[in-house]
A and B are shown apart, each in its own frame.
Chain A
Amino acid sequence: MKLFAFIKSTIKTTLKNLPSLVFTFSIFPLLLGLVVGYFNEDQFVPSVEMPVMKIMIKDEDNSVESNNLIGFLEGQEMKSLVEKKEEDMQYVITIPKGYEESLLNNGNVPVEIEVTDEGSESQGNMLAEIIDKYNEEVHLNYMIQRSIEEETEIPEEREELAQRIYSEIAEMYSRGVIENNIITTKKSLTSYEHFSITFFGYMLFLIMTSLINGEYIARENGVYSRIMATPLTDVQYLNYNLISSYLFVVLFNLLYVLTYRISGLSFKGSLPLLILIVLIQSLLGTVLATLFSLILNRKASSAILNALIIIQLIGGVTYVPLKKIGDGLLARIVEKYSPDALIVSTYKDYLIYDDFNSIKIGLLLMVVVSLVLYIISLIVFKTKRGEAW
């Protein structure tokens, strides 16, 4: 019932102040994200509009298999990704002598890709991945075919088996699958996605500020003393306060991401994964706010949080211009050391890859950091027992 009291009180306070809270924690950062996202739209490469790679192919093997590879690269499926050009080419693909033999025997095929001054290293890597994938599957196909021949001598059966395998391989090379591979390898965020994350970090710091101020007010106006004078242990107080604050944070974080999701501008991946990140990221924010309120006085925590907000905002808003300076080194530094780096990188991975594997490290780190911060908070709270406040 005591936990219920904390939760009910938080819900009632939230409901009574809902309009101002929604404006501060949802509408305001959302509007900022939309406006800044709109004006920076052309600075970002939309994910679905990958630039076509201009290639030149040198066939030194001149075999059936090397011709098949060229046919694949020039085929209909690759048309939207690769364009064969003799001038202004970005990538030179060299099929070396012995390609067919290597491909059929050991599968280890040294196709070279040279990136010209006009090309991009990352797209060159993508191209290499596509060719590697092709070679791998052709080698596999060959091995299967050889096994079929050893398996049966009846031509009809061989034909039937071979047909089935070919159709499966053909399916593997369908445009969709390859595009997915490419997108998995390299997808850049839209401006709305980028700024939705930037202002999400900003919003989280605002919520943390609000929680910390709430805690200071409770101490100053005697509510904390009154609560602690009731039959409640230190640990109960810390936990109940943390849980009710956590629900508050989750509510507004969800409101923010779902508004973006419904508008179709960001957070469009798997809903369960999105909720999972929100739940864990909210935990980190809540525990961090609790620790701040325990170890810092009001002035110090306000100064630090404001500094963090400024650094975080500058990093997020200037990320694109910074990318153009010094081969993007500055942008990478800002990205790496931003106060919300862990949260930003997890949401970016979610937006780009949309699978659990790509975000699990980020989530795990957030859980571990939250746990460590919680233990420190517990120790500080039990040691201080409000006396230093």
Chain B
Amino acid sequence: MSLIEVKNITKRFDDKIVLDNITLTIDEGDIFGLIGPNGAGKSTLIKIMTGLWDSNGGEVIIDGYDLKKEPLKVKEQIGLVPQEIALFEGISAYDNLEFFGYLYGLKGKLLKERINEALEVTGLQDKRKEKVQKFSGGMKRRLNIACAILHHPRILIMDEPTVGIDPQSRNHIFEFTRRINRENNTTVIYTSHYMEEVEMLCNNVLIIDLGEEVAYGDKKTIKSMISNNDRILIEAFDYRGEMMLAIKSLPGVNECTEEKGLIKLLVDNNDFRLEPILKVIENHGGKIKSINFEEPSLEEVFLALTGKNLRD
């Protein structure tokens, strides 16, 4: 049985449908990506999954508990990292953690241990007594995460956790996400409109737009929805003659272009073989420096399926 089952969730505001019959399942230990442009319904779905809002139809089952019937049992298992910096700015990092720790039922020695652990994991040990309002954007984001992991949730929902932060803090968050998933087997739901983040972290993905499912499944399956074509980038030098024409005539090669020694190929996965290409380059006296294979990005998938860019 899946850890998270979302079945036919529908949400309306007056007559406007903001989520239309969304269904998904997430297995324990997965890092699941929820993708969509602003206003797609990602945050609405998260609010419904965490019991903040009621849906107009459908159900959310987490670890066998129906969210509507046993909301507290469900909430105990979830750690939410909101999109906003949801912290009390006027008090210290430690005080913020203590507050949310109490709300998750932690107290005494255990609470102190968990606070120290969360501060260590997010790299904020030295800042524990500082007022949050003095923190940088990246530090606030990390504390935002720390507050959600105090109770060792089985599910961590991270809503746009890297918005507006520096690359160093962003990397820290990626590392943390992988680490908590690997070491604690925490199931992570990661929403973002930075496709490269989801592409890098997540195994399975739901793409939504205007409240509707656009694509759902593992990354490979989703990418295969739009094309069987892969891109190959070959960096070569010292080649002579009509090499490009020879490569273009090989079976499975749909396109072949060259720019400053970088040969770009668009190939059909079903017919393409690498060996003949290497042979052609060798026959033309060329030396190969590097070969890179590229799949279509999720950004391209989204563009192909909806006709618009994610960050429009």
Contact = CB atoms under 8 A, between A and B. Distances in A.
Tell me whether A and B are bound partners.
Answer: yes
Interface of A: 1-2, 4-5, 8-9, 12-13, 16-17, 220-223, 225-233, 385-387
Interface string B74-91: 011010101111111011
B282 to A, nearest CB: 59
Contacts of A2: 102-103, 105
Nearest to A217: B89
B187 interface: no
Given A5-B103, A16-B131, A223-B86, 8 more contacts: A8-B102, A12-B95, A13-B88, A221-B85, A221-B86, A222-B84, A225-B80, A231-B76
B174 interface: no
B198 interface: no
Q: How large is the interface on B (under 10, 10 to 19, 20 to 34, 35 or more residues)?
A: 20 to 34
Contact of A229 (B13, B80, B131): B80
Nearest to B43: A225
Contacts of A9: 88, 91, 95, 99
Contacts of A387: 13, 53-54
B91 A12 contact: yes
Interface of B: 13, 47, 50-54, 71-72, 75-76, 78, 80, 82-88, 90-91, 95, 98-100, 102-105, 107, 131, 147-148
Contacts of B103: 2, 5, 227, 230-232
A144 to B, nearest CB: 70
Contacts of A226: 80, 82, 86, 100, 147-148
Contacts of B13: 387
**Residue among A4, A222, A230, A386 facing the most chain B CB atoms (10 A cut-off):** A230
10 contacts: A13-B90, A17-B90, A221-B84, A222-B86, A226-B86, A230-B103, A231-B75, A232-B103, A385-B54, A387-B53
Contact of A13 (B82, B91, B98, B102): B91
B52 A385 contact: yes
B88 A385 contact: no
Given A1-B105, A13-B88, A386-B52, A225 B82 contact: yes
Contacts of A227: 103
B95 A229 contact: no
A231 B150 CA distance: 13
Contacts of B98: 5, 8
B105 A222 contact: no
A233 B71 CA distance: 9
B52 A228 contact: yes
Contacts of B75: 229-232
Given A221-B85, A229-B50, A16 B90 contact: yes
